[in-house]
Amino acid sequence: MVKTEEKTLESELIYDGKILKLFRDTAELPDGRSAIREVVRKADGVCIAAVDAEGRIAFVSQFRYPYGEDVLELPAGKIDGDEDPDHAALRELKEETGVECGKLISLGCGMSSPGFCDESLWLYIAADLRKGEAVPDEGEFLNLSWISLEKAEEMALTGEIKDLKSRMLILAAAAYLRKEAEQ
């Protein structure tokens, strides 16, 4: 086994912003040399596959500024401070889609960009849905749509859905629900 651990020698805060902090660290590599590590530190997030009684998944489409285009995604958002991830999932789902759910199934936690960012994303299936009115955050402009699980799975596989967390969660949710139906 190759030794891999890196040790922080210095850490410089470059930018302390609204949604992220940027650090420029110097790290000692396993061979004793040093290297620059640029790290974005930000709040963790949640992403939810909400499946209704007709087997359709809730999607939100919103303008994603870094790409300059509308992106079709599963409902997702940031965890507030020391908020419990389950609570954040219920809150974000309600805010973005108006949906409340009777059943929240955790599919664990994932890393979105481990090369440069410390964000962890908590993944959920929401079922037993009650639909209501969306209450988006100020400055948040979303369009809601419902797509059958079968079609969504196809779109995740072909890449018609581009957002990787959504693609991942759709495939995992479909596998989970298939397994559950077989039991």
Active site (catalytic) residues: 138
Residue partners of 142: CB distance under 8 A and separation at least 6: 60, 61, 62, 96, 134, 136
From edge to edge, which strands make up the β-sheet containing 7-16? 7-16, 21-28, 34-41
Residues 140-169 that bind a copy of itself (CB under 8 A): 141-143, 156-159, 162-165, 167-168
Shortest distance, position 168 Cβ to a copy of itself, whole Å: 4
- x/- site string to a copy of itself, residues 52 to 71, per CB under 8 A? ---------xxxxxxx--xx
Q: Which residues pair with 125 in a beta bridge?
A: 49, 105
Residues 88-107 that bind a copy of itself (CB under 8 A): 107
Residue 100 is encoded by which pair of tokens?
A: 């409340």
Among 110, 129, 149, 152, binds a copy of itself (CB under 8 A): 110
Residues 123-142 that bind a copy of itself (CB under 8 A): 123, 139, 141-142
Strands 69-73 and 120-130: unpaired
Strands 45-50 and 120-130: parallel
Residues 5-34 that bind a copy of itself (CB under 8 A): 5-6, 14-15, 17-20, 22, 24-25, 27, 29-31, 33
